Structure 1
């Protein structure tokens, strides 16, 4: 009888030989599944971005729109934009509007989420339905409804104020002709449409806070306010950060509500924000509009960089 003595090297080679190799098709399967979505994104998003980037370095005005060849001007559109007082006025209005909207939306959204967490099932369902109706309404329809409320001649707001004061002082009063009242109406409209997202997101986070931790804090003598800031808020920190960053980006990109409200009586030159300013500028100067668009994108990236860095650090921990 013969005995074969296998060496460790021979065993290793044997195991490597017997190890099933992954088929090339299996390695390509994830990429093949991603290919259709990637192609759609490249066509629908990539091409317009590239085209806009090219236009931002060209003289592309009305003459070029009607067939004249564009002229390469380098960074001229960017320097003209950054030295234009109108651009900085629009930027100031846009960031001021964003700040007010984020504060109002986050504050009201958190309060409604806390209310939903405290009330019973019936009232929670009632609040949810109301929030969903406000969230599901198309922006143009929402602005038109609110436009009827603040209408100069037949608006419900003017009629209510006349009824309360017992005078006709508010008859014919325009809430949209003055920039300050225009933005007040705009803040109400956008906040009304944005609060549901914040409320549902924060409420989902509240349901993940451990009840035993809250009960322990209550037994230690912590009141409702202390429990919120010392117990609940740390659990919601990441959720609130993501929600706030998203709201900042969305509020800087707002277009439909501003443009529709301008059509109902606002003065565009005094109420333009980034979205409407780019739209109006693009009707006569696509090169300048492209430059403003990329400057706006750079500003939004600067806003979100803190969130991106924090997310990367949290993943590394």
Structure 2
């Protein structure tokens, strides 16, 4: 019995000894530096951005210095390098300066109105109860979710000369009131989408209608983060609503307004789909903006993709300059 138990104990030790040696053996693990982990996680996103954004931008930049026409597109001849010839041609073209003026004026008006309307709606939403605010937010976000082409179709139908709702509604006004407000009594067959100024009026309405919900929801989110004690103190001091907005709301939401302004500038400078639909294609040259002008040069017969790419490069440079100047001013204000 003693020998059996001793052997059993020895055998147990011998059987378990290799297991202990394997458990005690240190496991080699390759560890990455902590600082490299965020950069590694960014690689998939950078690859997607490079494939979808950077590569096309580089190609457009190269094409702006080349002659790319129908012969080059068909592959019969390679694209030829022409230097700055494309830029010289578009700068000598009167349509370019007209399109640039239309782009800048439209962007200034549309961005201003979008921010004003969106901020006003955001402040009003903050005054509503939680349930009613949620209901209104869901309702206005439907407008923001409408695709740009569908926006153009909706408002082109509303302002249609023959079957448009706008002409029908204006004709319902009494003649004396319509004459006093607009200088005319009848609106039958009014061609809103023939002249450049009326096209851009409709375009401004379209863009503001579709863009202000995003501004309103963003402002509402910022207002929800402001302590209520500040408004209570201002109310006790007898501050008016206008003074409270400029002394409390606006300074605290300045970072939000900065981001919204930059995004609105970028979006409104390069509006294309809505204007294309409202115009019915690149037909009215007086109503061109830089995006439509670039499209017309690149794809309308005879196609001149080098000139179209040059216009796109000019538009991109303008956006970068405007955004950089605006952001720099904001940084200076924050430092002061």
Q: How many angstroms apart in 2 are the aligned matches of 1:228 and 1:171? A: 44
Q: Which residue of 1 aligns with 2:16?
A: none
Does residue 56 in structure 1 map to residue 64 in structure 2?
Answer: yes
Q: How does 1:14-93 map to 2 (within 5 A)?
A: 23-24=31-32, 29-67=37-75, 68-93=77-102
1:138-170 deviations in Å (ceiling 9; x for gaps): 222222122221112111111122222469832
Which consecutive residues of structure 1, in runs of 5 or more, have no partner in the other structure?
Answer: 1-20
Query: Among 249, 271, 286, which residue is 1:270 paired with?
Result: 286
**Residue 45 of structure 1: SS of its match in structure 2?**
helix
Q: Which residue of 1 aligns with 2:21?
A: none
Which consecutive residues of structure 2, in runs of 5 or more, have no partner in the other structure?
Answer: 1-28, 176-183
Q: Is the 8 A contact 1:245 1:304 kept in 2?
A: yes
Q: Is the 8 A contact 2:69 2:304 kept in 1?
A: yes
Q: Is the 8 A contact 1:117 1:203 kept in 2?
A: yes
Q: How many angstroms apart in 1 are the aligned matches of 2:38 and 2:247? A: 44
**Residue 265 of structure 2: SS of its match in structure 1?**
helix
Q: Which residue of 2 aligns with 1:161?
A: 170
Q: Is the 8 A contact 2:65 2:85 kept in 1?
A: yes
Does residue 109 in structure 1 map to residue 105 in structure 2?
Answer: no
The size of the alignment, in residue pairs, is 297
Q: Which residue of 2 aligns with 1:203?
A: 220
**Residue 133 of structure 2: SS of its match in structure 1?**
helix
Q: Which residue of 1 aligns with 2:103?
A: 94
Q: Which residue of 1 aligns with 2:138?
A: 129
Q: Which residue of 1 aligns with 2:153?
A: 144
Larger Cα Rg: Structure 1 or Structure 2? 2
Does residue 186 in structure 1 map to residue 203 in structure 2?
Answer: yes
Q: How many angstroms apart in 2 are the aligned matches of 1:309 and 1:92? A: 24
Does residue 119 in structure 1 map to residue 128 in structure 2?
Answer: yes
1:3-38 deviations in Å (ceiling 9; x for gaps): xxxxxxxxxxxxxxxxxx982476654444333222
Does residue 302 in structure 1 map to residue 321 in structure 2?
Answer: yes
TM-score (norm 1): 0.85
1:259-298 deviations in Å (ceiling 9; x for gaps): 111118x843121112111111111111111111111111
Distance 1:205 1:26, change over 3 A: closer
1:210-240 deviations in Å (ceiling 9; x for gaps): 2112222222221111111111111011111
Q: How does 1:165-314 map to 2 (within 5 A)?
A: 165=174, 169-263=186-280, 267-283=283-299, 284-309=303-328
Alignment RMSD: 2.6
**Residue 164 of structure 1: SS of its match in structure 2?**
coil
1:157-203 deviations in Å (ceiling 9; x for gaps): 11122222469832222110111111111111110000011101111
